[in-house]
């Protein structure tokens, strides 16, 4: 949830904007099952090619914001917590073009954390290009919806 929040923060809602139904479902499931959000509080808006799933929860939003402020300490080890966070970032703002895998518009602290975890990146405008795509995919594959969708 923290990785999704990092990509979609701003405003009062905790939200996800996505084209992937699987991501929208996972976001809602985490909110319901792990965060205790009531089903009636989760709102869904669909337009032609994007789904927005969101809810309002000021206490949880503050908790997520504080965790983001501490993320360089939370994700200093290459473990499932770090892998989950970066898988969510990749699912939200990542991609692949003819050059490489990339994360678009991540904050400098995320770039630094990746470097500390041994995932080397280069900056190319707003894209942080992953130099070692194989290592990065190996790191996040168990947690990334997009990678699992491609493998299926």
The per-residue pLDDT for range 74-92, each reduced to its tens digit, is: 999 999 999 999 999 999 9
Angle between helices 80-93 and 108-116 (to 10 degrees): 130
d(CA 40, CA 126): 37
pTM: 0.90
- pLDDT 10s digits, 95-122: 999 989 999 999 999 999 999 999 999 9
- pLDDT 10s digits, 6-27: 988 778 899 999 988 889 999 9
Which residues span the domain enclosing 16?
Answer: 2-69
97: buried, middle or exposed (CB in 10 Å: 19+, 13-18, 0-12)? exposed
**Residues 93 and 120 grouped into a single domain:** yes
**Residues 127 and 141 grouped into a single domain:** yes
Average of per-residue pLDDT values in the chain: 92
**Residues 46 and 25 grouped into a single domain:** yes
Q: Which two tokens stand for residue 87?
A: 């898988």
CATH number at residue 86: 3.10.28
Radius of gyration of the chain measured on its C-alpha atoms: 15
Residues 6+ apart with CB under 8 A from 38: none
**Residues 139 and 107 grouped into a single domain:** yes
pLDDT the model gives residue 150: 73
Cα-Cα-Cα-Cα dihedral sign, residues 65, 68, 73, 74? positive
Q: Indicate the residue among 69, 85, 104 that finishes a domain.
A: 69
């Amino acid at each position: 949830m923290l990785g999704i929040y990092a990509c979609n923060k701003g405003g009062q809602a905790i939200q996800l904007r996505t084209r992937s139904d699987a991501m929208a479902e996972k976001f809602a499931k985490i909110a319901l099952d792990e965060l205790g959000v009531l089903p009636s509080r989760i709102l869904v808006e669909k337009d032609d090619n994007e789904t927005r799933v969101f809810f309002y929860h000021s206490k949880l939003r503050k908790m997520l914001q504080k965790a983001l402020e501490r993320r360089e300490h939370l994700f200093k080890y290459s473990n499932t917590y770090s892998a989950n966070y970066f898988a969510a970032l990749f699912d939200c703002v990542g991609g692949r073009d003819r050059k490489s895998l990339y994360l678009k518009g991540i904050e400098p602290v995320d770039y630094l954390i990746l470097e500390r975890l041994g995932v080397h990146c280069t900056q190319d405008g707003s894209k942080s290009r992953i130099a070692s795509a194989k290592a990065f995919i190996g790191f996040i594959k168990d947690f990334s919806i997009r990678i699992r969708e491609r493998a299926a």
